Structure 1
Amino acid sequence: MAKNKHPKGLMILFFTEMWERFGYYLMLGIFTLYMIAPETAKFAGLGMSNMEAADIYGTYLALVYLTPFFGGLLADRFLGYRRSIYIGGLFMAAGYIGLSIPNSMMAFYISLLLIILGNGLFKPNVSVLLGKLYEKPEYEHLKDSGYNIFYMGINIGAFVCNFVAAWLRLSYGWGWAFAAAGVGMLIGVLWFAWGNWRVPEIKEADKISPKRENDLSLARIFTVLFLPAFAAAAIGWIIPNNIFGSDSNDAFIFFCLPVLYFFFNTWRTADKTEKAPIAALLSIFGVVIIFWAVFHQNGSALTYWAKNNTDRELGPKMEVVINTIASSEEVSTVPRERQITGLHGESLGTEQGPSYYFDNYTGELPQGNLDGKPDDITEQEWAQIKDGSKSSFGKLVLWPTELQASINPFFVVVLTPLVVAFFAFLGRRRKEPSTPGKIAWGMLISAVSWLVMVAAAVMSGNGADKASVAWLFGVYGVITVGELCLSPMGLSLVSKLAPRRIAALMMGGWFLSTAIGNKLSGVLSGMWDLFEKKSNFFLTNALLTAGAFLIILLLLPWLKRVYNEHVHH
């Protein structure tokens, strides 16, 4: 597929989103680590408990995907897409840089608020603007592949940032890492501004659709939507005895209820020609909630698996590289007396044999020690370390758990060209699935991916032995194919079916479904410790996703009919 067939604005929006996602995922990768890091550590954190950090993390992630609904509404009715992108980008940059301010909880919470609001203005409107670039007849048939290419930009940023974050936080401290996220966001805004100057078609695509006579004003929307939503959230927060596990969960679910009613009312009052496409989109939104509920466990359940159930010991060659770039601490290799060393050189005991150092790349203190044994190595491994038969250059070094978050974006970058080429191959033979059909395939493949982890759990005795890291690459490899069929196709479907006057609002609806899924992923991951057999936990995810696939399969004939009537005239 020749590059010049796509609109020139694609590369502008590609790199704008790449830099925005670089900052977003850099912050996300170290966010929890920062909150739970001790205040007395070399680079002081906030000293929160795991429970406090998890609650703030889950609420933040849900709100980040909820505010695009409001940002889309403002862009459709008032700000326009480009202005929303500028304001949102600057808000996010300010928020990331604000997180670099040490020892200030006020700065911490204000910074999170700025990031949440900024993402709401930025995220949906970049996606909508991209869709509008493809509305010209010569580009329309390339829209799906355009969104796939755009999605690859997102994941280039998501892949690189974890390495940058780890290096900066270990070498210079948390503040430098958070500031780097802000710098990345500013680069994205400057690139977008340059692109607006160089590529006039971006400005041409930024046109606010004319209002209909019965469209609500912003003041009316605030009265009938915003106020009820925040009032419902307040009720959810203050009611005694949590319904959904925590005050923040209750507040979020209650907040969503008026928003969901608003979408229902949007469909109910729509013109006859708009009803079917709006209904189709709302149906897709409802089903993909399940996809996000299981997919976003990569930051929770799969992280637990990577940390506690995966063999993370580095080989000698990798160890030398990691220690060179990421650790300035000297580790003794006294041959006769073993020195069991913690994060800052504190002694965890001595024994005869070669010395070792626990996890000196991540800088995480061993937790739950039993006679000096870190709790994420087995008794057999501990015995080998003690008798000197298992050590590399006299040290035990584990690759950092957080780097497993780069496996998924790595596969997105590698597999996107293959998926685009495959659909182009089918298209030339007039066998390419419709966009709703691709979403259905994505859900099925995602269900199959969890069977990889079922096999991993069974083969490792449900935690009795350490599993190979190959299982993580396996599950991410399969689920990434499903993701590429589903997530960018969802963005494409919204841009195709949404009535022009509410295009950004419906894109916000897509991100609203992501927000609800994020919250549910936290609820599901919270059950991790309740499953003695981890294979049953992963099987539950597979069955949930398979159920969502069956629902889409039943809706597919209707979805295709609506799609053909309103997209292909």
Structure 2
Amino acid sequence: MATSNNKHPKGLPYLFFTEMWERFGYYLILGIFVLYMIDPVDTGGLAFNDKNADDIFGTFIALTYLTPFLGGFLADRLLGYINAIYIGGALMGLGYIGLGVFTDIPMFYTSMGLIILGNGFFKPSISTLLGNLYEEEPYKQNKDAGYNIFYMGINIGAFACNIIAAFMRNKFGWGEAFITAGVGMFLGLIIFSIGRKYILKANIMKPVQEGDTKISDVLVKVFLPAIIAGVIGWVIPGNVFGSDSTDAFIFACLPVVYFYVMLYVKANAEDKRPIGALLAIFAVSLMFWAVFKQNGTALTRWANYYTDRSVPAAAEKPLEAIYLVEAQDYKSKEVSVYNDQYVAQKDEDGNPLKEVGKDIYFRNELPEKKAVMEANPEQSVYLYNTELFQSVNPFWVIVLTPVVVGFFMFLRRRGKEPTTPAKIVLGLFISALSCLVMVGAVYAGENGAFKVSALWLIAAYGVITIGELCLSPMGLSLVSKLSPPRITALMMGGFFLSTSIGNKLSGVLASFWYDYENKANFFIVNFGLLLLATLLGLSILKRLNKVMREKGVN
């Protein structure tokens, strides 16, 4: 990653590696989070039921992207971005380690809380620092490329973490895997400290101007009402949106959404149009995240139960030596009881029911493989860890980022590069196509009657990754380009708020998995949501492009 050719600032590599290690920790726990929660107590898990695990997962990833609203505001006005990164990184590191050290439920939720708060300070601040580094010449014109490079760093961490998680889980256990995430976070802070001298110039706290929102107003008029609304959502009788936690989250979001709407309503003439454009992008982006973030729930379930995870014979011994595989055999033994939807059955106390039979993996094995195993029941069958499939998306990001960046640079040289909003709309449409790949996978496996090749999942991740590369880093770049300078981190918080709501919706959508007898319909619904988002994006694209021209950016 060269920075001496005047294309990119010297601080980029340090932010790149800081974010890489921070995301290493974050995505490590996401890859194993649901698996850990539904794993039986006797093998180290929490023995939560599947729907509850999906709900907790969706709420957790939603809250990690809701807190940047407040963290970004405090970084803008009080802490500065560098201090916010240190505070946020330390809280996340302690939270990751807490998940590994403590096994009781109260400390489980306390550790999650530390991660949620830490991400609120860290995430908007490092993205704002990166944008500030590109504010001066000759770097300005390369801001989109800089965010793409930064985004690749995120995904290098996300790729490596699942391989390490599988190793730590297989060799040591769940706790050691979570502690590894904390070590990664603190490594990131060390790298940030080494490069601090190149980043200091970007730590520009914006001067307060007349009409600016006060910190006290945010705390009293937004944060406190959000807490009260969340409590109301939790305690009201019944469930409005499916569960107490979902009700609490949606209710808590209402004062925050209202704040951003009023930010637009009260903005001066110069700021109103760019703020409005960003709010429109936030609205369509949340539908992308509602589908994309099912990689930790619905697609993890697909990988676990519906995908052929058997290791080729030639790779069995090398992989076993580094503990990246699970071994099963076809003998009858005491195993957990599962229903037709692959949900582990538990008694009234939450303990898993047991029976003598085959491991659940073999229930829908291909006939030709089942015949071989029936003839050799003592022979071990080696399986890839389910969490390793979480590395497929970041792998595609690493491979495809140079291709996507190169393609847009090729178009730029010919004067045909799409605007940043146009790239986002294109990303929504391409992402929708990935859902159709999974519809094909369902039909290939006769709706779960037989396992399908892992290539279906790999292909679906490849398609949605192209959409992601058009949308996610472009969203960060757009916030940096259009935000009024004094509220850049606050608007970064708004971008992450849309991500937060989308993340929560992903958990809600994933919880409906069991309601679809034909799993193809589940993915068709996701396709419809992204197609709707694409059409909404197209309907406002002309207006967004006009705002971009008014701001003198592309």
Q: Flag whether TM exceeds 0.5 (same fold).
A: yes
Q: How does 1:107-122 map to 2 (within 5 A)?
A: 107-122=107-122
Q: Secondary structure at the match of 1:397?
A: strand
Q: Secondary structure at the match of 1:532?
A: coil
Kindly name which structure, 1 or 2, has the bigger radius of gyration based on alpha carbons: 1
Deviation at 1:47, TM superposition (A): 3.5
Q: Secondary structure at the match of 1:241?
A: coil
Residue 328 to residue 146, structure 1, CA distance change in 2 (3 Å) = closer
2:125 corresponds to: 125
Q: Distance in 2 between matches of 1:88 and 1:388?
A: 50
Q: Distance in 1 between matches of 2:354 and 2:368?
A: 14
Tell me if structure 1 keeps the 8 A contact 2:34–2:57.
yes
Q: How does 1:273-288 map to 2 (within 5 A)?
A: 273-288=270-285
1:209 aligns with 2:206: yes
Shifted more, 57-66 versus 151-160: the winner is 57-66
Tell me if structure 2 keeps the 8 A contact 1:450–1:542.
yes
1:25 aligns with 2:32: no
Provide Cα deviations, 1:306-353, integer angstroms capped at 9, x if missing partner.
Answer: 222212222212222232222899999xxxxx844568xx9xxxxxxx
Provide Cα deviations, 1:166-217, integer angstroms capped at 9, x if missing partner.
Answer: 11122122222222111111110111111013x2xx2111111111122232
1:289 to 283, 286, 290: 286
Aligned AA (1:88): G
Deviation at 1:2, TM superposition (A): 6.4
Aligned AA (2:426): W
Q: How does 1:21-170 map to 2 (within 5 A)?
A: 21-41=23-43, 44-170=44-170
1:535 to 508, 515, 520: 520
Residue 530 to residue 185, structure 1, CA distance change in 2 (3 Å) = same
Aligned AA (2:200): K
Aligned AA (2:75): A
Shifted more, 144-153 versus 454-463: the winner is 454-463
Residue 396 to residue 268, structure 1, CA distance change in 2 (3 Å) = same
Q: How does 1:471-490 map to 2 (within 5 A)?
A: 471-490=456-475
Residue 455 to residue 330, structure 1, CA distance change in 2 (3 Å) = closer
Stretches of structure 2 lacking an aligned partner (at least 5 in a row): 337-351
Q: Secondary structure at the match of 2:427?
A: helix
1:319 aligns with 2:304: no
Provide Cα deviations, 1:536-566, integer angstroms capped at 9, x if missing partner.
Answer: 2212211211111011111111000001111
Tell me if structure 1 keeps the 8 A contact 2:61–2:500.
yes
Tell me if structure 2 keeps the 8 A contact 1:94–1:111.
yes
Deviation at 1:389, TM superposition (A): 6.2
Tell me if structure 1 keeps the 8 A contact 2:39–2:45.
yes
2:242 to 242, 245, 254: 245
Identity of aligned residues (%): 53
Shifted more, 93-102 versus 318-327: the winner is 318-327
Tell me if structure 2 keeps the 8 A contact 1:67–1:116.
yes
Q: Distance in 2 between matches of 1:175 and 1:371?
A: 29
Deviation at 1:154, TM superposition (A): 0.2
Shifted more, 18-27 versus 32-41: the winner is 32-41
Residue 312 to residue 456, structure 1, CA distance change in 2 (3 Å) = same
Deviation at 1:527, TM superposition (A): 1.6
Residue 48 to residue 141, structure 1, CA distance change in 2 (3 Å) = same
Residue 321 to residue 288, structure 1, CA distance change in 2 (3 Å) = same
Q: TM-score, normalised by structure 1?
A: 0.90
Q: Distance in 1 between matches of 2:99 and 2:220?
A: 33
Aligned AA (1:29): G
1:523 corresponds to: 508
1:233 corresponds to: 230
2:297 corresponds to: 300
Provide Cα deviations, 1:479-532, integer angstroms capped at 9, x if missing partner.
Answer: 100100000000000000000111001001111001101111112112212222
Tell me if structure 2 keeps the 8 A contact 1:496–1:567.
no
Q: Distance in 2 between matches of 1:411 and 1:156?
A: 10
Q: Secondary structure at the match of 2:206?
A: coil
Residue 379 to residue 496, structure 1, CA distance change in 2 (3 Å) = closer
Tell me if structure 1 keeps the 8 A contact 2:325–2:383.
no
Q: TM-score, normalised by structure 2?
A: 0.92
Deviation at 1:118, TM superposition (A): 0.5
Aligned AA (1:83): N
Shifted more, 270-279 versus 29-38: the winner is 29-38
Residue 326 to residue 341, structure 1, CA distance change in 2 (3 Å) = farther
Tell me if structure 1 keeps the 8 A contact 2:333–2:358.
no
Deviation at 1:301, TM superposition (A): 1.6
2:185 corresponds to: 185
Q: Secondary structure at the match of 2:381?
A: coil
Stretches of structure 1 lacking an aligned partner (at least 5 in a row): 333-337, 347-366
Q: Distance in 2 between matches of 1:567 and 1:26?
A: 40
Deviation at 1:58, TM superposition (A): 1.9
Residue 156 to residue 81, structure 1, CA distance change in 2 (3 Å) = same
2:349 corresponds to: none
Aligned AA (1:208): M
Q: Secondary structure at the match of 1:559?
A: helix
Q: Distance in 1 between matches of 2:234 and 2:195?
A: 44
Query: For the aligned residues, what is the CA RMSD?
Result: 2.4
2:539 to 537, 547, 554: 554
Deviation at 1:62, TM superposition (A): 0.9
Q: Secondary structure at the match of 1:242?
A: coil
Tell me if structure 2 keeps the 8 A contact 1:309–1:466.
yes
Pairs aligned (count): 537
Residue 325 to residue 227, structure 1, CA distance change in 2 (3 Å) = same
Deviation at 1:230, TM superposition (A): 0.7
1:219 aligns with 2:216: yes
Tell me if structure 2 keeps the 8 A contact 1:368–1:374.
no
1:256 to 244, 253, 270: 253
Shifted more, 316-325 versus 18-27: the winner is 316-325
Q: Distance in 1 between matches of 2:422 and 2:416?
A: 11
Residue 310 to residue 204, structure 1, CA distance change in 2 (3 Å) = same
Tell me if structure 2 keeps the 8 A contact 1:368–1:375.
no
Tell me if structure 1 keeps the 8 A contact 2:328–2:382.
no
Aligned AA (1:553): L
Shifted more, 544-553 versus 531-540: the winner is 531-540
Residue 395 to residue 189, structure 1, CA distance change in 2 (3 Å) = same
Deviation at 1:51, TM superposition (A): 3.6
2:424 to 430, 433, 439: 439
Q: Distance in 2 between matches of 1:171 and 1:144?
A: 41
Tell me if structure 1 keeps the 8 A contact 2:401–2:469.
yes
Residue 52 to residue 462, structure 1, CA distance change in 2 (3 Å) = closer
Residue 439 to residue 387, structure 1, CA distance change in 2 (3 Å) = closer
Q: Distance in 2 between matches of 1:59 and 1:231?
A: 17
Provide Cα deviations, 1:67-96, integer angstroms capped at 9, x if missing partner.
Answer: 011111111111111110011011111111
Aligned AA (1:293): A
Deviation at 1:165, TM superposition (A): 1.1
Tell me if structure 1 keeps the 8 A contact 2:365–2:450.
no
1:509 corresponds to: 494
Deviation at 1:441, TM superposition (A): 0.8
1:335 corresponds to: none
